[in-house]
Homo-oligomer: A and B are copies of this chain.
Amino acid sequence: MHTFRLAMAQMNPTVGDLDGNTRTILRLIGEARTLGADLVAFPEMALTGYPPEDLLLKPQFVHDSLKFRDQVVAQTQDIAVVLGCVDRNEHLYNTAAVAYDGKLVGVYHKIYLPNYGVFDERRYFEPGMECPVYVINGVSVGVNVCEDIWYEVGPTEVQCVAGAELIININGSPYHAGKLDFREQMLAARAVHNRAFVSYTNMVGGQDELVFDGGGLVLDPHGQLLVKGCQFEEEMVVVDLDIDAVRTARREEPQPGKSPDELARVGTPSVVHVSDYRDPGQRPELPKHRHTALQSLEEVYAALVVGTRDYVRKNGFQKVLIGLSGGIDSSLTAVVAVDALGKENVVGVSMPSRYSSEGSIVDAKLLAENLGIELQVIALEQAFGAYLDMLEPQFRGTQPGVAEENLQARIRGNILMGLSNKFGWLVLTTGNKSELATGYSTLYGDMAGGFSVIKDVPKTLVYTLSGYVNRRDGLEVIPQAVIDKPPSAELRPDQRDQDSLPPYDVLDSVLKAYVEEDRSYAEIVEMGFDPQIVQQVIKLVDHSEHKRRQAPPGVKITPRNFGRDRRMPIVNRYRQF
C-alpha cells in the first residue's frame, strides 16, 4: 500500500507581518516533519497574510516577501511544502510555491482571479497559464489556488488528466454563514469527477472586515470526507491517503475527459518530477483531530469573536471600551468582547441622558455584573446642557428634533473617545446591520469607534444570538428585560425604534432582498410586502450611503456586508418609484 501523509497547516497569519508569518511557517514545517508528513500545505498568501491589498503595489513589499519565501524554501529538508505567497516576473501572481529538500521546485500561478464581492485580485495579479503536476514521493500532486477549484473545467481537471492523484487547493476563503456546506459539496464533486483525492487548506483568523474560518477538508476519490479541520482555530490537520485508491478507482471507471481543446484553454499541463517513492518506514501516530461540528449560531458567534479578537490584538490594543445602553445591541457586543478578549479587558460605560429609563441603567449594571466587567457611569446631562446653552442663539425658535437627539449621541461618542485617547482603549461600536442599512444611527455619535462588532448582524439575528448566548451559558447573561423591552435609542421622551422603522422582522426581510440580493422594488412587493414599507426601506437605504462610508469596519458574516462587498456611489439619483 502506498500511503501519502498529508499535513494541512491551518494558520492565522497577519497581513504584512512577513517576519512573524515566516517564523510561524517554519515552526509548522518542523511540526509537520516531526509528524512524518510527506507534504505540508499552507493557505493562500500565508506568507503575506490575505488580502494584503495595496501593499502589493509597493515593489519593496514584493521584494521583501520573495526574500522571506526563499528563507522558507531553504528549510524544506525531507518534506515538500506548498506555500501561498506572491511571485513576480514581468507581472505579479497569486502563487502556490512548491519546495522540496531546500529547493524551489515550482510555482503555480492562480488562474481564476476573483474580482467580485470583497475581492480585487485583478487589481494586482495576472492570471496564470500553466497547470503543473508535481511527482512527490512517487505521488502525482496537482496544486492550485482557491477560486481555481470552483471551476469544473479548470486546473483541477487539467492536472488530473495529466496524472494528478491528489489535488492540493490552498485558500484564503472568507467566512459567511452557510458557505461551508456549499464548499464541501463542490469539493466532493471535484473528487468524484476526477477520481482523485482533493484537499482544501484554508486560513483562520480575522483581517479587517474578513474572518477566515479554516475548516480544512480532505475527500477521497469517491467523494467521501476523510477529515475536517476545526473552524476558526489554528490546527495542523494530518491524514494518511491510500494513493492506490485513486489507481483502483480510475481503473474501474476512467475519468470522463473534456476535449483536449477545452482543457488547453484552461492552461498548459506539465509534469515535474520531484522525488521517487521511498518507504517512509514507521511513522508517528496521527494526532487526534479536535474538530467538532459547529451549529449555525455557534459558527456565526465564533466568527464575531475571532474577528473582534484579531482586529483588536493585531492592531496592538489590549483593552476595549463599550457604551452600554441597556439595549440588546450593546449587550451582545459586550458578550462577544468578553469571549474575545477576557472580561479584564472590557470596560463598559453607561451614559444615561435625561431620557434614559431607570431600567436602562439597571440593565447595563446587571449585564456588567453578569459578565464581571468594570462599569463606569457618566451622565451626559452637563455637556448636553452646555451645548443647548451655547447653541441657544442659533436654535432659538426651532422645535427640538434630530439635532438635539444627535447631540446626545455625539456626547456619548465624545466621552468614549475621550477615554479611548486617555487610556489607549479601543472603542467598540454597537450598531447592527439593520440600523446601518437604514441610517438609524448617529454619525460621530453611536457610530464613533474603531470596530463595529455586529455591523453585519441584522437586528433579528441579534435577538437570536442573544438567546443562543443565554442558553449556552445556562443563565441570563443578557438580562431577560433587555431582550423583552421594545428597542429604543432613548434620545427623546418615549422614543421607540418602531416609531421610525417597520417591525424588525419585516425590515430585515426587505433589507435582505434589497441589499444582499439586489432585488427590485417591484420584485420585493411581489414577495408580499407592503409597497409603502418597501418604498420607505429603499429610501432609507439609498439616503444613508454617506453614513456607511464613514462607519468603522466590522466582521462580515453575510454574503454581502457594508464594506468592500458593496460599493455604492454616494451621489446616486437612481429611483425606482
A573 CB contacts on chain B under 8 angstroms? 14-17, 20, 314
> Is A410 a contact of B414 with CB atoms below 8 Å?
yes
> Is A16 a contact of B378 with CB atoms below 8 Å?
no
For the complex, what is the distance from the CA of A55 to the CA of B379, rounded to whole Å?
44
Q: Does A450 contact B (CB under 8 A)?
A: yes
> Is A414 a contact of B417 with CB atoms below 8 Å?
no
> Is B57 a contact of A518 with CB atoms below 8 Å?
yes
For the complex, what is the distance from the CA of A205 to the CA of B378, rounded to whole Å?
48
For the complex, what is the distance from the CA of A109 to the CA of B64, rounded to whole Å?
40
Known A55-B569, A383-B386, A520-B60; judge A417-B444 contact (CB<8 A).
yes
Known A208-B569, A571-B207; judge A383-B394 contact (CB<8 A).
no
A410 CB contacts on chain B under 8 angstroms? 410, 413-414, 417, 444
Q: Does A186 contact B (CB under 8 A)?
A: no
> Is B443 a contact of A569 with CB atoms below 8 Å?
no
Q: Does A485 contact B (CB under 8 A)?
A: no
For the complex, what is the distance from the CA of A28 to the CA of B521, rounded to whole Å?
31
A116: nearest chain-B partner, CB-CB: B123
**A104-134 interface bits toward B, Cβ cutoff 8 Å, 1 = contact, 0 = none:** 0000000000011000101100000000000
Q: How far in angstroms is the closest Cβ of chain B from A8?
A: 24
A395 CB contacts on chain B under 8 angstroms? 418, 422
A572: nearest chain-B partner, CB-CB: B16
> Is A52 a contact of B380 with CB atoms below 8 Å?
no
Contacts of A405-423 to chain B: CB distance below 8 A: 406-407, 410-411, 413-415, 417-419, 421-422
Q: How far in angstroms is the closest Cβ of chain B from A36?
A: 33
Q: Does A348 contact B (CB under 8 A)?
A: no
Q: How far in angstroms is the closest Cβ of chain B from A127?
A: 11
> Is B15 a contact of A571 with CB atoms below 8 Å?
yes
A521 CB contacts on chain B under 8 angstroms? 60
> Is A422 a contact of B443 with CB atoms below 8 Å?
no
For the complex, what is the distance from the CA of A58 to the CA of B49, rounded to whole Å?
32
A314: nearest chain-B partner, CB-CB: B571
Known A378-B391, A382-B386, A419-B394; judge A60-B116 contact (CB<8 A).
no
A1 CB contacts on chain B under 8 angstroms? none
Q: How far in angstroms is the closest Cβ of chain B from A420?
A: 8
> Is A407 a contact of B403 with CB atoms below 8 Å?
no
Q: Does A389 contact B (CB under 8 A)?
A: yes
A315: nearest chain-B partner, CB-CB: B571
Contacts of A360-403 to chain B: CB distance below 8 A: 376, 378-380, 382-383, 385-387, 389-391, 394-395, 398, 401-403
Known A550-B551, A553-B549, A571-B311; judge A383-B390 contact (CB<8 A).
yes
For the complex, what is the distance from the CA of A403 to the CA of B567, rounded to whole Å?
34
Q: Does A504 contact B (CB under 8 A)?
A: no
Contact of A61 among B60, B123, B574 (CB under 8 A): B574
A59 CB contacts on chain B under 8 angstroms? 518, 520
> Is B572 a contact of A15 with CB atoms below 8 Å?
yes
For the complex, what is the distance from the CA of A443 to the CA of B418, rounded to whole Å?
11
Q: Does A54 contact B (CB under 8 A)?
A: yes
**A416-448 interface bits toward B, Cβ cutoff 8 Å, 1 = contact, 0 = none:** 011101100000000000000000000110001
Residues of A within 8 A of B (CB): 14-18, 20, 49, 51-55, 57-61, 64, 115-116, 120, 122-123, 206-208, 310-311, 314-315, 376, 378-380, 382-383, 385-387, 389-391, 394-395, 398, 401-403, 406-407, 410-411, 413-415, 417-419, 421-422, 443-444, 448, 450, 518, 520-523, 546, 549-553, 566-576
A-B contact pairs, 21 of them (CB 8 A): A15-B569, A15-B573, A15-B574, A52-B569, A53-B568, A55-B574, A60-B518, A61-B574, A115-B123, A207-B571, A310-B571, A315-B571, A379-B390, A382-B386, A383-B386, A391-B422, A403-B422, A406-B421, A417-B443, A417-B444, A444-B448
